[in-house]
Amino acid sequence: MVLVLTSLRAQSNIALGNLSVACLRENPGHAQELGSQVLMGMPVTILGRDGDWLKVKTIDGYIGYIIYHSLKQLSAEEYRNWKKSERAVFTALTEGKIFSDSINGSVVSDIVPGSIVQLQETGLRFAKVKLPDGRTGFMSVEDLTPLKEWMSQPFDKSIIERYARASMGTPYLWGGNSSKGMDCSGLTYTGMWLNGRVVPRNASAQAKIGQPVSNSADLQNGDLVFFASPTGRINHVGCYIGNNRYVESSGRVRLTERNPSQTKGYAFGRRINTLPSISRQPEILKFFVE
């Protein structure tokens, strides 16, 4: 069967995640394998269309299919205005809510760590925000980090560690990278994203970034630890948090109290504190600013 993709040349090829989590499938169809998730406000490039499914590429290079109504496709003017607008990243470590009123309003939307919203008004306690599809609501100011600050923040390994700890108990979900469910590399991917870093989506690719830590005795908090299959292929990753312990998503996000080197399949560690922020990566920065 030959896949025919509908041309979208008359429209902008940029879309934003429209829901708290948009499911990115390996092929068009709800029953297809989940490859990753696109969080609210994350930009993706539209490559084509197959019926109700948009073929997209994420800013970290992952290609898959998202049902059209999970995205807000932007016109060229809308995209320019979005890049010029004040935006903020939801940097709370656990899932939150956006309310219709700052005190006793109804729920407008849920929101997961790492989502991006537009700022309309900012008060002492609450901010009025705009979602990609135009809905507005209120959320706590303390849970938001201005986009420019988030994109240029120095590396802080404690953010990754704190996110890993806060995610404890979250169900394992192949292809997930949110509080709705996450796999092993989804945990580390979003932990890095909250620190203004973009890493590859899968464990095998994450194992190629940063600096190697060959001796497990030299591991530091925030280092990534990798495990391999019997064939030697990297197929699992966790976040080291000190004292011979690491957090991993295996069945659920859990704390493993064991030196990684004593776990079957342990391969090596990687220190990722030299990875540049988004503000220093022009090929990614262009998705956010003019």
Q: What percent of the chain has pLDDT over 90?
A: 94
Q: Quick check: 7 pLDDT over 50?
A: no
Number of domains in the chain: 3
Q: Quick check: 64 pLDDT over 50?
A: yes
Inside any domain, residue 288: no
| CATH number reported for the structural domain that contains residue 127 in this entry | 2.30.30.40
d(CA 119, CA 157): 27
Instruction: Give residue 239's domain range.
Output: 157-274
Q: What is the pLDDT of residues 80-119, one digit of tens each?
A: 999 999 999 999 999 999 999 988 899 999 999 999 999 9
- For the residues 260-282, what does the mean pLDDT come to? 96
Inside any domain, residue 202: yes
pLDDT category, 12, cuts 50, 70, 90?
confident
> Does one domain contain both 180 and 217?
yes
> Does one domain contain both 266 and 184?
yes
Closest CA to 195 of 148, 166, 158, 165: 158
> Does one domain contain both 194 and 257?
yes
> Does one domain contain both 189 and 216?
yes
- Mean pLDDT, the chain, whole residue set: 95
pLDDT at position 103, please? 82
- For the residues 36-48, what does the mean pLDDT come to? 98
> Does one domain contain both 35 and 129?
no
> Does one domain contain both 231 and 130?
no
Q: What is the pLDDT of residues 143-195, one digit of tens each?
A: 999 999 999 999 999 999 999 999 999 999 999 999 999 999 999 999 999 99
> Does one domain contain both 105 and 200?
no
- For the residues 200-226, what does the mean pLDDT come to? 96
> 1-5, 23-27, 267-271 — which is least confidently predicted?
1-5
> Does one domain contain both 264 and 173?
yes
pLDDT at position 6, please? 42
Q: In this structure, are residues 25 and 64 in contact, taking their beta carbons and an 8 Å threshold?
A: yes
Inside any domain, residue 281: no
Q: Exposure pattern of 123-156 as b/e (b: 16+ CB <10 Å)? A: eeebbbbbbbeeeebbbbeebbbebeebbebebe
Q: Quick check: 3 pLDDT over 60?
A: no
pLDDT at position 104, please? 83
pLDDT at position 5, please? 46
Q: Quick check: 8 pLDDT over 90?
A: no
Inside any domain, residue 4: no
pLDDT at position 2, please? 40
- For the residues 231-238, what does the mean pLDDT come to? 97
Closest CA to 38 of 52, 68, 58, 8: 58
| CATH number reported for the structural domain that contains residue 233 in this entry | 3.90.1720.10
> Does one domain contain both 116 and 20?
no
> Does one domain contain both 176 and 265?
yes
> Does one domain contain both 109 and 190?
no
- For the residues 125-143, what does the mean pLDDT come to? 97
> Does one domain contain both 70 and 24?
yes
